[in-house]
């Protein structure tokens, strides 16, 4: 690890100011991706801006129609939240499947969403539920937030403060874990709302994406059988030493069916 300056601001505007004034500085939330990167000397930001002292970034609230999770809320808290379990059990289940216990205790929802790892779990939940990413400056709809491999709509100096999830009728997540990393080789989140069904896939490509044919089919009939015959195209899907694109495409269908099963159970 190379030397860096360390800042621990108490207010969001202070954090945003540091972020814009120190070129190449990085925000650190749980640090579950950033710290290993620093240890391997693959990144050497001049300064880290630790978000852990910022007020009002932790915790979960609801207003009946939505559940809002503070950006610095760890995965383990979301997984164990009675509120999330009651309102969006599929999201609590997703949080319980991230990484391992150490990662779930340190890692945060804001960090995961901002990082937008192509195999992370939360992007599937955020996109699948059509959530709103609340930042220090504005609100961004999930459909416009994720821009592919580690890219998001966040502007320089913009900090995620919370994610606001609409409460669905039903939702479920099914994840096929990569054997070694236990990231999603393929993860599928499905959510049923009054105006239709959303299906979001992580792990299969360079970033989280929706599957309109499955959404249409499930909107007609929210049952695994409705999508059993739908195969997604392998174009744009990842091939690596763990899985070729056609296997990932197959797993999308299998995991989508299992996500529907989970939502129905």
Binding site for other proteins (CB under 8 A): 1-3, 40-41, 176, 179-181, 224, 228, 241-244, 247, 250-251, 253-254, 257
Q: Are 67 and 167 in contact (CB under 8 A)?
A: yes
The pairing of beta strand 170-177 with beta strand 196-202: unpaired
Report, in Å, the least distance between residue 140 CB and other proteins: 30
> 193 or 247, CB closer to other proteins?
247
> 108 or 253, CB closer to other proteins?
253
Report, in Å, the least distance between residue 254 CB and other proteins: 5
> 134 or 217, CB closer to other proteins?
217
> 41 or 82, CB closer to other proteins?
41
Residue 89: CB atoms within 10 A of its CB come to: 17
Report, in Å, the least distance between residue 105 CB and other proteins: 19
> 194 or 241, CB closer to other proteins?
241
> 140 or 217, CB closer to other proteins?
217
Report, in Å, the least distance between residue 258 CB and other proteins: 9
Report, in Å, the least distance between residue 98 CB and other proteins: 15
Report, in Å, the least distance between residue 113 CB and other proteins: 21
Q: What is the DSSP string of the chain?
A: ----EEE--SSHHHHHHHHHHSTT-EEESS-TTHHHHHHTTS---SEEEE-TT-TT-S-EEE-SSEEEEETT-BHHHHHH-HHHHHH-HHHHHHHHTSS-HHHHHH-BHHHHHHHT-TT-SHHHHHHHTT-EEEESS-EEEHHHHB-STT-BSPPTT--EEEEEEEPPSEEEEEEEE-TTT-SEEEEEEEEEETTEEEEEEESSBSS-EE-HHHHHHHHH--SGGGGTT-----TTB---SS--HHHHHHHHHHHHHHHHHHHH-
């Amino acid at each position: 690890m190379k030397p860096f300056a360390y800042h621990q601001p108490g207010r969001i505007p202070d954090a945003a100011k540091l972020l814009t004034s120190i070129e190449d500085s990085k925000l650190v939330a749980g640090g579950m991706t950033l710290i290993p990167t620093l240890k391997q000397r693959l990144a050497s930001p001049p300064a880290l801006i630790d978000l852990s002292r910022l007020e009002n970034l932790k915790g979960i609230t609801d207003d009946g129609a939505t559940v809002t999770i503070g950006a610095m809320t760890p995965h383990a808290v979301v997984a164990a939240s009675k509120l999330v379990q009651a309102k969006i059990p599929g999201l609590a289940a997703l949080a319980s499947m991230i990484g391992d216990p150490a990662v779930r205790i340190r890692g945060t929802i804001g960090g995961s969403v901002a990082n937008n790892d192509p195999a992370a779990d939360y992007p599937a939940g955020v996109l699948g539920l059509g959530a709103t990413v609340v930042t220090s400056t504005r609100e961004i709809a999930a459909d416009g937030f994720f821009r592919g491999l580690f890219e998001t709509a966040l502007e320089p100096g913009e900090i995620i403060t919370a994610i606001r999830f609409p409460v669905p009728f039903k939702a479920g997540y099914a994840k096929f874990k990569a054997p070694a990393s236990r990231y999603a080789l393929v993860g599928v989140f499905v959510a049923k709302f009054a105006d239709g069904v959303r299906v979001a896939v992580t792990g299969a490509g360079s970033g989280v994406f929706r599957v309109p044919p499955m959404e249409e089919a499930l909107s007609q009939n929210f049952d695994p059988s409705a999508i059993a015959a739908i195969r997604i195209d392998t174009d744009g899907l990842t091939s690596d030493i763990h899985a070729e694109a056609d296997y990932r495409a197959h797993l999308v269908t299998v995991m989508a069916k299992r996500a529907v099963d989970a939502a129905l159970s």
